Amino acid sequence: MADRLPPPKFSLGRLSKTVAFWLIVILIPVVFVQLTSQRRGEAPEIAYTDFARELERSNIAAVEIVEGREVTGEFKGPVRIGTRDVVRFRVLLPALASDALVQRLSDQGVRISAKQPRAGLLGVLVQLFPWIVIIGFWIFLFRQMQQGGSRAFSFGKSKAKLLTGDTPKITFADVAGCDEAKVELQEIIEFLKDPQKFTRLGGRLPKGALLVGPPGTGKTLLAKAVAGEAARPFFSMSGSDFVEMFVGVGASRVRDLFEQGKAHAPCIIFIDEIDAVGRHRGAGLGGGHDEREQTLNQLLVEMDGFESNEGVILLAATNRPDVLDPALLRPGRFDRQIVVDSPDVKGREGILRVHTKKIPLAPDVRLDKLSKGTPGMSGADLANLVNEAALLAARRNKMHVDHSDFEEAKDKVMLGVERRSLVISDTERRLVAYHEAGHAVVSLSIPGLDPLHKVTIVPRGRALGLTASLPEEDRHNYTKYWLEGQLAMSFGGRVAEELVFGADKITTGAGNDIERATALARRMVTQFGMSEKIGPIAVGDKEQEIFLGREFSQRREISEKTSETVDEEVKRIIDGAYERARKILSEQRVGLDRLAAALLEFETLEREEILQVVAGKTLPPREVLPPLPGLPAALARVEEKPAGRSVGVPSEAPSPA
């Protein structure tokens, strides 16, 4: 049984806001009822001529004179005023009540009284109610524009959150896969705990550290671990929280943030996604002078300006260091740039161990083997992988998460979700089978390529079939031989379609294959220097973003002749890869047919099964897994397929960078 959530903590501010809201809700109808009832009880106003006429008729029983100008009273008998008969009346005298009028009323036997009006509490509320509504509306509007400001006009106050002792602590034990980054940050923590250890030799406290790395590698998690390890005040804030719709708010919040930091020094200030305010100044056509630049200027001054902020360490994270302003990156502001890159095989194993601490694992689960099969995955991807495996095991009512759950979760994360309900004909299934078999046979025939992981004709994601390869080890450099083999494998699907069905029956399924192959061949010529005619020369204009302070007009760096030569070399490389794939599949036609037939029968084949099929061996009967609860045991396929689908995708091997 799951633990119940703890009751929310008592908050006086939240209680006061709730009470004020309900008071306003109750007060509005009460005042409305009072106003309507007061209006309902008031005597109708009549003209002075009607009053004088009825006075002559001796039809007035009693009057009350208010401040000598207003007279209210009662008639002895009903009087027709307009469309209704009235008994009570109210009249405004054209002049102050004179002694003659009072004498006339007295002679008629009218009962006379007088009073001085006093504004009661209700009257005051009635008079002030419109102003209260207007002021309350504007206060509400200002609070909505602030999105969480503590007070109605606190635009310039910092929104940084101070981590206290009751916050759940994350330590370096909860972080894996980035040992070098932890060492650098551990040194900063020791600086805060014992600064004299370093300053006695003339060192100074670092001003800041910038965490740089791709999304999902654990930059924010590292910052949380620093907060848990430092045992010092820790302020956290997002870069987007500085900028508001009002001018000067961002700079004011930066000043307030550092004032809070100096008051709690030594402390750490963490700004997540600092590229939101730290972008290159002068961005756009003709430069700029916007609110974001003012915020950045104030941040630069606070980090290393005329006044020093001793004891305040700024920790920031970004996945776009290329767009940051150079003045922000210099030593004295960010003394250290800590790279948090994608983990290697050892780092992935450590991350898996961290995320599987609270998950019951079956004896057949080997995290070292699993880490080797997840190249290129970040820490967030691995956390998602473990979570998906646990959910799959729970849906099948298992007591432990076994190896099959991790493999299925890995395929789901890396290749996409199976779409067995997709409408597809038998003819098209046969075409997809030969397409993916072409990729697989070419891959097996070229030594040195990444080993095949899986071939399937079950639609996954946006593809009707997949041929996935996984490297046995992390690759950081790619040889020319490997790239040429990768190109040949990319064209394996198209060549198989052409050999089996004819040149006039090729499909759009190779569109993505051709696109990726063309891009890779062009990079081989223009960036990697793998063309004899071009040589080791970087060819092409630099791709610069003009809205990041770059130049709008760029000088052309290559001639028309060189451009034509590049196109010729790209076509030569692609034609060579196409002919290489054609030669392999022509020689391995028997293996191609066997593999396509096996795919039509089993739909999905692992590496060992692919090798057996190509070698001419018969596959043993496959164990059928029970369907997931809540899903049909088998999903029927219909004989028609919606238009607009592309058939096949290339191998999932990583593209060289």
Residues recognised as catalytic: 436
624: amino acid identity, one letter: V
Tokens of 193: 């705990």
DSSP letter at 276 equals G
The single residue listed with the structure tokens 């739909």 is 603
Cross-strand pairs, 604: 456
Long-range contacts at 243-248 (CB < 8 A, ≥ 24 apart): 243/276, 243/277, 243/291, 243/292, 243/295, 244/145, 244/146, 244/155, 244/291, 245/145, 246/145, 246/155, 247/291, 247/294, 248/156, 248/291, 248/294
The single residue listed with the structure tokens 């370093």 is 198
- State whether residue 510 is helix, strand or coil: helix
- Is residue 152 within 8 A of residue 142, CB to CB? The reply is yes
Q: Which strands sit side by side in the sheet containing 336-339, from one edge to the other?
A: 161-163, 234-238, 267-272, 312-318, 208-212, 336-339
494: amino acid identity, one letter: R
Nearest to 309 by CA among 386, 204, 410, 216: 204
Residue 389 CA to residue 411 CA, distance in Å, equals: 11
Residue 385 CA to residue 378 CA, distance in Å, equals: 11
- Is residue 258 within 8 A of residue 269, CB to CB? The reply is yes
For every residue of 380-403, DSSP letters joined together read HHHHHHHHHHHHHHHHTT-SSB-H
71: amino acid identity, one letter: V
Strand 466-469 with 452-456, pairing: antiparallel
- Is residue 431 within 8 A of residue 507, CB to CB? The reply is yes
- Is residue 400 within 8 A of residue 238, CB to CB? The reply is no
- State whether residue 654 is helix, strand or coil: coil
Cross-strand pairs, 63: 73, 112
- Is residue 650 within 8 A of residue 496, CB to CB? The reply is no
Nearest to 172 by CA among 218, 127, 226, 126: 226
How far is CA 614 from each of CA 489, 599, 618, 623, rounded to the nearest angstrom? 17, 12, 10, 21
Residue 371 CA to residue 367 CA, distance in Å, equals: 6
Residue 605 CA to residue 470 CA, distance in Å, equals: 15
Residue 267 CA to residue 230 CA, distance in Å, equals: 9
Phi, psi (degrees; rounded to nearest 5) at 235: -100, 130
Exposed e or buried b per residue across 318-345, where buried means at least 16 C-beta atoms within 10 angstroms of its C-beta: bbebeebbebbeeeebbbbebebebbee
Beta strands in 400-483 (DSSP E): 452-456, 466-469
The 3-class secondary structure across 35-77, one letter per residue, is HHHHHHHCCCECCHHHHHHHHHCCCEEEEEEECCCEEEEEEEE
- Is residue 75 within 8 A of residue 90, CB to CB? The reply is no
